[in-house]
Structure 1
């Protein structure tokens, strides 16, 4: 391991400190003020300077994230609201926006994208012929069950910080889906490894949609930041893209009154079967790369929220096209899980440090495919 510039084995490090948490480790806390009061969280710290907050009571999503003191995960101003404050059907189904905060807010498990009313007769409960969904589903307001939070030996001998949680989305006469999420950081690492398994505990075929709303904020998002991706073509864009004319590739400074811009890009997977995208600072000094298994989440959205006071970019791998739930049912692309059937998702978020690293990632992505101007 490289610990503060010194190459040390685990045994050598143990000789130098009576408690490894002086260098890196895991700590369980409970947030205790304002709208966050009562939310359980887990803080993970690596010796490389990566700090990550896992929100146990917010679907095991990722809250604050920092690298060497600089924030990586976006903070919207909402705070990590206790799930008891969430009203799923408020504001025409848009109340999810009041929960949008932090590095990762997951959408699912049976619905993502914009809300609406869909058929529910498959559940054979006559009083409920349909179900109404809000934006990005119910997942984010469900507390998780903490299964594991400890240091484990890594494959190379480097200790690994591992936390595991389970989130169950269920109702009588409806869906009964389970998300099991494993998050790992190397003791001396700058990469977050996310592994999710979603399975159907119920006995009716159940729709499954899943989306990661990965939110990167300042200073990793700033004027001149470059979005790099292997894009075959642009499949869809919001009306605001043409109306405002802001580039999807190079970011401006914050703009007062900016209207969010959303695009769906058709990405080209690399030889390893993974999609890769990155945000790179104008001077190449820092960046963040997201990579995931293309088979599990073949779709990808770029969310530009460049409004003053809200300044962020969302990188959004998705199981389904931006047209959403109703369209997926009509065209046959909806995923239905039978009893015991599961889907797996593997994603990494890597902090890039220095021009050598950012240039190497840009070149590697360009080698997969170019991207339109």
Structure 2
């Protein structure tokens, strides 16, 4: 039964108290109508606990806003939630993606993630296309979905709010990849469940790379907030060498915003729990608030930490990924590409949870520490030991 407002209530008991569930929980459709956002279809979810989040149907069904009891969880960048019709994926020498980069979650892929890359296009059997050029983090995040359904689903006294859609990334003489996405949350809970299935609908062998860029902002992210993770090794730091300590920002204990901060990116090797899953979290003890990401190690063997503490851009990114942070060329050199033939699929099941109260934060700390004790030193030496994938 849903736990709402300090009570466990059956469906009948809830219905006695209101003419519609939407009085305190539900999912509804709306369209944004001003500025850069104009024309974007959006679904708004409210679980009844104080958790509210929005799904941008026309932006790959990514999660945009996220707040809990009026406190922001997700990050809003200066780029805003830009309509996909304004997106220029090939612009600015492959960095045009940054002008559409905002929100709690931005999906990267479906055939490419990380920095710009050019690869051989022989598999597409089209002489004028000798290579495929990919911009940063791929194309999928700015593709509108075909919304196949949304609503409330009751199972006895339990109610799930859900939506589902299909995002198709395709071209002539090139890739035809499809992502089927389902997002759900049970009424009375703070855990969002995400299920993606990526399938090659074309008849060319096609690379597949996938990553979630999960972006957390103020007030959850603030000076004194802490990154919790079952880190067994710091594999790589993009700012290693002379720059490693230059900004006085390590991987674990996080600072406030700073002018002229240069982004820092880490890759950590994580220990899975007994069920093969990896949990990482950002916790703010002052607020008694946290956010936990839970993924399967077999689906996302790599995990990055993105620190963008520049004033006006202040964000922390949790990034589960299918490949090492050094990118597509590195994967090809090591024979670690994922190549999908016609009909091949990859499935990804992940959970995003809001942590509320000191007890929830303590339980999460203990559970993550049980998988592995992370380095207490904020500056553990990177090993550059990229373990073999697949």
TM-score by length of 2: 0.94
Asked if structure 2 preserves the Cα contact closer than 8 Å seen for 1:26 and 1:161, the reply is: yes
The C-alpha deviation readout for 1:230-287, integer Å capped at 9, x for no partner, is 1111111012544323111001111111111100000111111101101111336111
Measure, in 1, the Cα distance between the counterparts of 2:204 and 2:256: 49
The C-alpha deviation readout for 1:140-180, integer Å capped at 9, x for no partner, is 111000011011124x7310001001100000110000000
Counting only pairs closer than 5 Å after superposition, residues 24-35 of structure 1 correspond to structure 2 as: 24-35=25-36
Counting only pairs closer than 5 Å after superposition, residues 1-20 of structure 1 correspond to structure 2 as: 1-20=2-21
State the match for 2:212 in structure 1: 212
Asked if structure 2 preserves the Cα contact closer than 8 Å seen for 1:204 and 1:339, the reply is: yes
Asked if structure 1 preserves the Cα contact closer than 8 Å seen for 2:216 and 2:315, the reply is: yes
Does residue 268 in structure 1 map to residue 271 in structure 2?
yes
State the match for 1:116 in structure 2: 117
Measure, in 2, the Cα distance between the counterparts of 1:228 and 1:26: 31
Asked if structure 2 preserves the Cα contact closer than 8 Å seen for 1:241 and 1:262, the reply is: no
1:307 to 307, 310, 318: 310
Counting only pairs closer than 5 Å after superposition, residues 29-44 of structure 1 correspond to structure 2 as: 29-44=30-45
Does residue 329 in structure 1 map to residue 332 in structure 2?
yes
State the match for 2:148 in structure 1: 147
- What stretches of structure 1 move > 6 A for 4+ residues in a row? none
State the match for 2:131 in structure 1: 130
Does residue 254 in structure 1 map to residue 253 in structure 2?
no
State the match for 1:194 in structure 2: 194
The Cα RMSD (Å) is 1.1
Measure, in 2, the Cα distance between the counterparts of 1:22 and 1:100: 33
Measure, in 2, the Cα distance between the counterparts of 1:241 and 1:73: 27
Measure, in 2, the Cα distance between the counterparts of 1:17 and 1:342: 43
Measure, in 2, the Cα distance between the counterparts of 1:3 and 1:360: 21
State the match for 2:233 in structure 1: 233
Measure, in 1, the Cα distance between the counterparts of 2:174 and 2:61: 23
Q: How far apart are 1:11 and its partner, in Å?
A: 1.0
State the match for 1:107 in structure 2: 108
Asked if structure 1 preserves the Cα contact closer than 8 Å seen for 2:285 and 2:358, the reply is: no
Measure, in 2, the Cα distance between the counterparts of 1:67 and 1:100: 22
Asked if structure 2 preserves the Cα contact closer than 8 Å seen for 1:301 and 1:315, the reply is: yes
State the match for 2:180 in structure 1: 180
State the match for 1:286 in structure 2: 289
Asked if structure 2 preserves the Cα contact closer than 8 Å seen for 1:284 and 1:359, the reply is: no
- Range that drifts further, 119-128 or 235-244: 235-244
Measure, in 2, the Cα distance between the counterparts of 1:263 and 1:6: 43
The C-alpha deviation readout for 1:300-332, integer Å capped at 9, x for no partner, is 000011111111100000000011111111211
Instruction: Give the number of aligned pairs.
Output: 372
Measure, in 2, the Cα distance between the counterparts of 1:8 and 1:29: 29
1:277 to 267, 280, 287: 280
State the match for 2:67 in structure 1: 66
Measure, in 1, the Cα distance between the counterparts of 2:287 and 2:22: 32
2:350 to 343, 347, 351: 347
* Ranges in structure 1 where 5+ consecutive residues have no aligned partner: none
The C-alpha deviation readout for 1:76-95, integer Å capped at 9, x for no partner, is 12111011111111111011
Measure, in 2, the Cα distance between the counterparts of 1:365 and 1:328: 29
Measure, in 2, the Cα distance between the counterparts of 1:364 and 1:141: 36
**Local SS of the residue matching 1:244:** coil
Does residue 319 in structure 1 map to residue 322 in structure 2?
yes
Asked if structure 1 preserves the Cα contact closer than 8 Å seen for 2:28 and 2:151, the reply is: no
State the match for 2:383 in structure 1: none
Measure, in 2, the Cα distance between the counterparts of 1:7 and 1:331: 53
Asked if structure 2 preserves the Cα contact closer than 8 Å seen for 1:146 and 1:164, the reply is: yes
